[in-house]
Amino acid sequence: MLRVLVVDDSEVARRLLAEVLGRDPGLQVVGEASSGAEALRLAAGLRPDVITMDVQMPGMDGLETTRRIMERHPAPIVVVSGGHDPGDLAHSVRALDAGALAALRKPHGPAHPGFAAEAAELVGTVKLMAEVKVFRRRPAATPAPVATPAAPLPARRLPAELVAVGASTGGPAALATVLRGLPATTPVPILVVQHITPGFDAALATWLDETTPLPVHLAVDGQALRPGEVVIAPAGTHLGLSGAARVELGRGPPVDGHRPSATHLFTSVARVFGPRALGVILTGMGSDGAAGLLELRRAGGTALAQDEASCVVAGMPGAAVAADAVDQVVPLGELAARIAAAWSPAC
C-alpha cells in the first residue's frame, strides 16, 4: 500500500483527488494539506511515499513547498496543476526543476466525459513515480561539488553538425543544466524529445528559452534547422527530420509506448546526418532511445549518456549502455562541455 499526501488549497480539489486516489487498492491517502506550511509539517510527520502538489496556493506556493520538501524531507512529488493559465503551467515546469518528478492537469469532475481517463492517468503516474528513489537536494545557495573531468572522446572523423537529445523523468532540470552550459554562439541545431504531459510542452520551451543562453521553442513541421536553436518535440508528436534536413513532425504509432519517441528522433537523425550527428540520452524511466541511439552510432555518429549517479532515474541511459549504444557515460555537470567539444574537429 503506497501512502499519499494530497496538497491543494481548494477543498473541492483535495476531496476529488483523495477520492480518485483512494479508490485504487494500492493507494492510501494518509493526509491532506491546504497550504504549503501544512504540507511541510505533514511531509515531515507522515513521510508519505508520494505527494501530489498544487502549484498556485496563497502564502507559500507549490514551487517553494516543493523546494523545501526536497531539501528537508525528500519524497516523490507529482505536480497536479489546474493548467488553465500560463502562470499555472510556468510554475509547474519550475517545480520540475525544483525536484518534482511529473506534472499533470487536475482531473475534471466525474460528469466530464474524459474523467475516467484523467483519473487513470493520475493513479498510474502516482504509482509509477512512487517507485523513484529521490534524494535530499542542496539548498539553492549551496555550491555544487566540482566534478572530475571525464576521459576525452575517441577522435572523430567529422565534427558534429547536429545534436539530438532524449529525456524523460528528471529531464527538464537536466536539460536546463546542459543548455545553460552551452555557449550562446553554439553553431549547431539541437533537437529534443522530452516526455511530458500535453499542455506543459510549450511552458517547458518558454522556461528554457528564458533561463538558458539559447533560443528554445516547440518544433514546427517543415521548419529549417538553424544553428544554435533548440527545438523541442510537441507533446504527443514524433520529432524527426526529412531527407532535406528539415523538421518533420508526425502522429504515427508510438514507438515502444512513446510519442514523441527518442528512438524515432535518433533513428531519423542517423539517417540524415550519419557520422555528423551527436546523440545524447539523459535521465528517464524505461528504455526509450536505446535502439535509436544504437542506429545513430552504427551510422558513424557519437553517443553520450548521462551517468547513473546524476540521473533522477537511470533507466534510459542504462538501457542504452546495456545495448552497447553509447561511446561515453558522462556526469550531468560535464555534458555541456562534451557536447561543445563534439562540433570541434579536434574533439
CATH of the domain at 24: 3.40.50.2300
Q: What is the pLDDT of residue 143?
A: 44
Same domain, residue pair 170 and 239: yes
340: Cα separation from own chain's centroid: 21
Based on the residue annotation, tell me whether 288 is a catalytic residue of this protein. yes
pLDDT digits (tens, 9 = 90+) for 82-103: 766 777 888 899 999 999 999 9
Where in the sequence is the domain holding 257, given as residue range(s)? 162-342
- Tell whether the model's pLDDT for residue 347 goes beyond 50: no
- Domain count across the chain: 2
pLDDT digits (tens, 9 = 90+) for 252-292: 999 989 999 999 999 999 999 999 999 999 999 999 999 99
Going by the DSSP 8-state scheme, the letter that residue 123 receives in this structure is: H
Same domain, residue pair 20 and 118: yes
- Tell whether the model's pLDDT for residue 244 goes beyond 90: no
Residue owning grid cell 561515453: 328
Determine, yes or no, domain membership for 303.
yes
Query: Predicted confidence band at 134 (pLDDT cuts at 50, 70, 90)?
Result: confident
Annotated catalytic residue, options 49, 97, 288, 327: 288
Determine, yes or no, domain membership for 150.
no
- Tell whether the model's pLDDT for residue 153 goes beyond 60: no
pLDDT digits (tens, 9 = 90+) for 48-72: 999 999 998 999 999 999 999 999 9
Same domain, residue pair 179 and 116: no
- Give dist(CA 309, CA 19) in Å, integer: 37
Based on the residue annotation, tell me whether 195 is a catalytic residue of this protein. yes
Determine, yes or no, domain membership for 143.
no
Query: Predicted confidence band at 131 (pLDDT cuts at 50, 70, 90)?
Result: very high
Same domain, residue pair 183 and 332: yes
- The gap between the terminal CA atoms of the chain, to the nearest Å, is 51
Same domain, residue pair 182 and 92: no
Determine, yes or no, domain membership for 140.
no
CA separation, residue 319 to residues 37, 253, 316 (Å): 40, 22, 5
Same domain, residue pair 216 and 298: yes
pTM over 0.85: yes
- Tell whether the model's pLDDT for residue 317 goes beyond 60: yes
Determine, yes or no, domain membership for 178.
yes
Same domain, residue pair 111 and 170: no
Q: Which residues contact 104 (CB under 8 A, 6 or more apart)?
A: 78, 79, 80, 81, 121, 122, 125, 197
Of 157-166, 170-179, 209-218, the poorest mean pLDDT is in 157-166
- Give dist(CA 193, CA 239) in Å, integer: 7
Same domain, residue pair 182 and 71: no
Same domain, residue pair 171 and 120: no
Determine, yes or no, domain membership for 149.
no
Determine, yes or no, domain membership for 156.
no
Annotated catalytic residue, options 35, 81, 168, 310: 168
Q: Return the amino acid letter for 153.
A: L
143 vs 316 pLDDT, higher one: 316
Based on the residue annotation, tell me whether 168 is a catalytic residue of this protein. yes
Determine, yes or no, domain membership for 137.
no
Same domain, residue pair 192 and 284: yes
Annotated catalytic residue, options 8, 9, 49, 195: 195
Please report, rounded to a whole number, the percentage of residues in the chain having pLDDT higher than 70: 92
Mean pLDDT of the chain: 92
